[in-house]
């Protein structure tokens, strides 16, 4: 698996795009893959995480780059030459600026928090991805196991014109804590979160290999 691109997209802010990108990246690093992160969101959360990581560890262990929407193709081509996996974090909007990231993607991941509002926000993303003929997989984030709302959202997500990953990330404080520390949940020694991320990484890598 060489030079694959994952685009993490969602129209609604606060859906967990950066959390998903970071945790996939860290877990893949721990498995010996070379990883590059590309931040196209002007908010710059991924860049702040990267700088925090460098300060904390001395060396981030992965490549990082930023780009405007229209520089995505160039950056992806450059990063794919040295990285097994390029993960693109995108702005919380759906318009023509998102298309370059979708075009470069081998796999599109759409994080959806446990609310119908987040689920509704996927419609524009799915429509745009369909036009680009890209595979889209919804990842349930901040999932609340055993709740009626959680199950309702999971059931509705399964009916979308997209795949739904079996693995999901639960509503755990450790994800926010480690993000602010420049780490991934797999590096924090918290068993449940690390197990969730490992399962999701297994699934994502399997999808990329298909």
Tokens 């994502």 locate to 204
| Cα gap 10→27, rounded to integer Å | 22
**Would you state the pLDDT for residue 188?**
83
pLDDT value, residue 2? 66
Q: 23: domain CATH number?
A: 3.40.50.300
Could you tell me the residue range of the domain that residue 17 belongs to? Answer: 4-209
What pLDDT was estimated at residue 124?
84
Q: Which residue has the tokens 């399997």?
A: 206
Q: Report pLDDT for 101.
A: 93
Q: How many domains does the chain have?
A: 1
Using the structure block, give the residue that is written with the tokens 């509704």.
120
Strand partners, 180: none
For residue 86, CA distances in Å to 18, 69, 111 come to 14, 15, 17
Starting at the edge strand found earlier in the chain, the sheet holding 136-141 runs 63-66, 35-39, 85-89, 4-8, 107-113, 136-141, 163-164
Taking 70 as the pLDDT cut, the residues of the chain under it are 1-2, 115, 145-150, 153-154, 156-157, 190
pLDDT, position 1: 47
3 state DSSP class of 30 = helix
């Amino acid at each position: 698996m060489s030079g694959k691109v994952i685009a993490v997209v969602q129209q609604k802010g606060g859906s967990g795009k950066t959390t998903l990108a970071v945790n996939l990246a860290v877990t893949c690093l721990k498995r010996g893959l070379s990883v590059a992160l590309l931040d196209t969101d002007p908010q710059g959360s991924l860049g702040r995480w990267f700088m925090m990581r460098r300060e904390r560890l001395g060396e981030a262990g992965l490549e990082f780059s930023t780009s405007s929407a229209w520089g995505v193709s160039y950056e992806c081509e450059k990063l794919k030459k040295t990285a097994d996996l390029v993960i693109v974090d995108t702005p919380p909007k759906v318009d023509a600026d998102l298309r370059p990231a979708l075009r470069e993607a081998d796999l599109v991941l759409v994080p959806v928090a446990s609310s119908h509002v987040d689920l509704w926000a996927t419609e524009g993303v799915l429509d745009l991805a369909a036009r680009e003929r890209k595979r889209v997989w919804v990842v349930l984030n901040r999932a609340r196991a055993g709740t009626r709302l959680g199950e309702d959202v999971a059931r509705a997500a399964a009916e979308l014109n997209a795949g739904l990953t079996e693995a999901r990330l639960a509503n755990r404080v450790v994800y926010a804590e480690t993000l602010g520390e420049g780490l991934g949940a797999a590096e924090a020694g918290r068993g449940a979160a690390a197990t969730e991320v490992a399962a999701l990484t297994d699934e994502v890598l399997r999808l990329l290999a298909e």
